[in-house]
Amino acid sequence: MRRPDPLRLVVRRVWRGMLLVTLIAAITACSGSSACDSDLIPGQRSTSRGPWHVVIALDRSGSMEPLALEVVDSFNGMLNVLPADSYLSLVQFDSLRGADVTISVKPINEVRPLDSEAYRPDGATPLYDAIAEAIKLGFRGEAVLDATVVGRTLIAIISDGVENASVSTSLSAIRSTLAERASAGWAVRYFGLGPDASAEAANLGLPASSISELALDAGAVGDVFSDIGGGLVTSQARC
């Protein structure tokens, strides 16, 4: 049997020692500062620790009908992944029922799964009205929940099309409010299913790091909800 090279063994031990020191230093720095807060969006950090309030604006317009079953299954799968101390709000939107708040600042363990009756796509796309309602839910979360939630709000917008049915909210108002909330520490993610939806995200003034461009298919829907749930789990694990 070939004997190991003594010099190589020494180098390997030194390298392992350096790696351990680096790891300990990173853990110490994370536990003692806000630097370990979520990086769901590069360049955007939450301003405090504590449970997340996840606010989802979910497109329920008619063009989403072929993906309805995947939306229901993927949403329900996300419920099993989100951190146990998180809170959830949901606003579904279409032109027939408007921006419809179906879940308002609920602990994740009290949220009932969606079914085919709760998610029935139809009508056009009042996107701006829905985002405005999602922002209201974000403020409601800050008012209702413990102070640790302030600055740990995630607005997740999921749409497959462009704005064409809002009745009470303008693009300029939404752009201004989103920018203000991002500056305040909220995380904003836009999941565009298909090229039209992705172009709409740019109209909202969101940075490229906040926009996920996906295909308009069932696999992409699953990726969206996995991203939302898994991103928060990864964030919490770091701290």
Q: Where are the domains of the chain?
A: 6-32, 53-238
Q: What is the pLDDT of residue 12?
A: 41
For 8-59, the pLDDT digits (tens) are: 434 344 444 443 333 334 333 443 433 344 334 333 333 345 689 999 999 9
Per-residue b or e along 50-64, where b marks 16 or more CB atoms closer than 10 Å to that residue's CB: bbbbbbbbbbbbebb
Q: Using the 8-state DSSP alphabet, how is residue 161 labeled?
A: S
Per DSSP, the three-state class of 88 is strand
Contact status, residue 157 vs residue 131, Cβ threshold 8 Å? yes
Topology adopted by domain 53-238: Rossmann fold (3.40.50)
∠ Cα 141 49 105 (to 5°): 20
Q: Which residues of the chain have pLDDT under 50?
A: 1-48, 237-238
Q: What is the pLDDT of residue 2?
A: 42
pTM above 0.85, yes or no: no
Q: What is the pLDDT of residue 231?
A: 73
Tokens of 203: 């109209």
- Angle between helical axes of 171-183 and 127-144 (0-180°, round to 10): 30
∠ Cα 117 126 151 (to 5°): 90
Q: What is the pLDDT of residue 3?
A: 46
**Encoded amino acid at 132, one letter:** A
